Amino acid sequence: MMKTTRTTIGVRIVVLAFLLIFGNLISQTHNGAVGINTTTPNPNSVLDVVSGNNNKGILIPRLNESQRDAMVINKPTDDGLTIYNTTEDCFNYWSLADDEWKSVCGQLGKSVFTIDCADSKAMGTYVKGKELTNSNYLRISVNVTKLGNYTISGTTANGYNFYGTGVFLNTGIQKIQIPGQGTPENIQTDTIEISANGGDVTCTPPVSVTVLSPAGTYTMSCGNAKVNGVYKVGTELTASNTITLPVNVSTMGSYTISTNTVDGISFSGSGTFTATGNQNVTLSGTGRPTSTSVKTITITSDSQGGVSTTCSVDVIVVIPKKTVLHIGLETAYGYSAFTGPSRNLMDSPSNFGTTATSVVKYEGFNHISLGNSPSSTALQNALNNKPDIVIIGYSYSPNTTEAGYIANYLNKKGVVIALTDDTGSAQNLFRSIFSDPTISASNGAGAGSVYALTNTNDPVLNGPFGDVRGKNWGEDASTTVSITGLSSEFVPFSYAQPINSSTARTGITGLRNSNLSFIWFGDGGFLSNGNANGNQANSNTIEPFVAPSSGGYFPVQKSAYGYGGNGYSAGGMQVQNSILFANMIAWAIKQAEFSGINTQ
261 and 363 belong to one structural domain: no
305-325 burial, b at 16+ Cβ within 10 Å, e below that, comes to eeeebebbbebbbbbeebbbb
Spans of the chain below 70 pLDDT = 1-32, 106-108, 600
Closest to 396 (Cα-Cα) out of 365, 418, 364: 418
3-state secondary structure of 237: coil
Flag whether 562 is in a domain: yes
Quote the distance between the C-alpha of residue 372 and its chain's center: 40
Last residue of a domain, one of 192, 212, 232: 212
Q: Does 378 lie in the same domain as 290?
A: no
Element (H, E) at 595: helix 577-595
- The reply to whether the predicted model has a pTM over 0.75 is no
Tell me whether residue 198 is in a domain: yes
Beta bridge partners of 30: 33
- Do 67 and 153 belong to one domain? no
Asked if the structure places residue 104 within a domain, the reply is no
Which of 98, 130, 151 corresponds to the end of one domain? 98
In the chain, the number of structural domains is 4
For residues 91 and 146, state if they share a domain.
no
Range of the domain at 280: 218-315
Note whether residue 420 is domain-resident.
Answer: yes
> Residue 111 and residue 170: Cα distance in Å, rounded?
10
Would you state the pLDDT for residue 5?
38
* Structural domain contains residue 103: no
Same domain, 577 and 464: yes
In terms of domains, do 428 and 345 share one?
yes
Residue-wise DSSP of 194-226: EEETTEEE--SSPPEEEEEPSB-EEEE-GGG-E
Q: What is the CATH number of the domain that holds 571?
A: 3.40.50
Query: How many Å apart are CA 419 and CA 485, to the nearest integer?
Result: 19
Between CA 190 and CA 529 the distance in angstroms is: 65
Using CA atoms, how far residue 511 sits from 336, 371, 430, 470, 493, in Å, is 19, 25, 11, 15, 5
Regarding whether 388 and 250 lie in a shared domain, the answer is no
Residue pair 255/301 in contact (Cβ under 8 Å)? The answer is: yes
- The CATH number assigned to the domain holding 164 equals 2.60.40.10
CA 312 from centre of chain: 18
The 8 Å CB, 24+ separation contacts for 535-539 are: 536/560
Residue 598 and residue 389: Cα distance in Å, rounded? 10
- Pair (236, 346) in one structural domain: no
Residue 106 domain flag: no
pLDDT (0 to 100) of residue 383: 98
The residues pairing with 234 across neighbouring beta strands, listed in sequence order, are none
In the DSSP assignment, the letter for residue 117 is: G
**Are both 208 and 233 inside the same structural domain?**
no
208-259 confidence digits (pLDDT tens) = 999 988 889 999 999 999 999 999 999 999 999 999 999 999 999 999 999 9
SS3 600: coil
Q: b/e for 63-94, b at 16 or more Cβ within 10 A?
A: bebeebeeeebeeeeeeebebbbebbebebeb
Question: How would DSSP label each residue in 316-348?
Answer: PPPBPPEEEEEES--STT-SSTTSHHHHHHHH-
157-161: long-range contacts (C-beta < 8 A, 24 or more apart)? 157/190, 158/184, 158/185, 158/186, 158/188, 158/190, 158/211, 159/183, 159/184, 159/185, 159/186, 160/126, 160/132, 160/136, 160/184
pLDDT of residue 433: 96
Entry field: residues in the chain: 600
Query: Nearest CA to 595 among 521, 515, 519, 520?
Result: 515
**Residue 168: CB atoms within 10 Å:** 20
Residues 35 and 129 in one domain: no
Instruction: Give a yes or no: residue 600 inside a domain.
Output: no
Looking at 66, 98, 130, the residue that finishes a domain is: 98
- Neighbour count for residue 17 (Cβ, 10 Å): 10
Report yes or no: 231 and 241 within 8 Å, Cβ to Cβ.
yes
- In this structure, the answer to whether residues 368 and 517 fall within a common structural domain is yes
Residue 168 included in any domain: yes
| Torsion from C-alpha of 206, 207, 213, 218, nearest 10 degrees | 130
Bridge partner list, 521: 419, 510
Cβ–Cβ contacts within 10 Å for residue 570, how many?
Answer: 15
State how far the Cα of 495 lies from the Cα of 340, in Å rounded to an integer.
Answer: 28
What pLDDT shows up at residue 99?
A: 86
- pLDDT for residue 427: 96
Pairing between β-strand 33-36 and β-strand 47-49 as defined by DSSP bridges: parallel
Residue pair 430/510 in contact (Cβ under 8 Å)? The answer is: no
pLDDT of amino acid 12: 44
Distance set, CA 428 to CA 200, 396, 424, 440, 522 (Å): 78, 12, 6, 9, 13
Tell me, yes or no, whether 417 and 303 share the same domain. no
CB 469 within 8 A of CB 461: yes
User: What's residue 97's pLDDT?
Assistant: 84
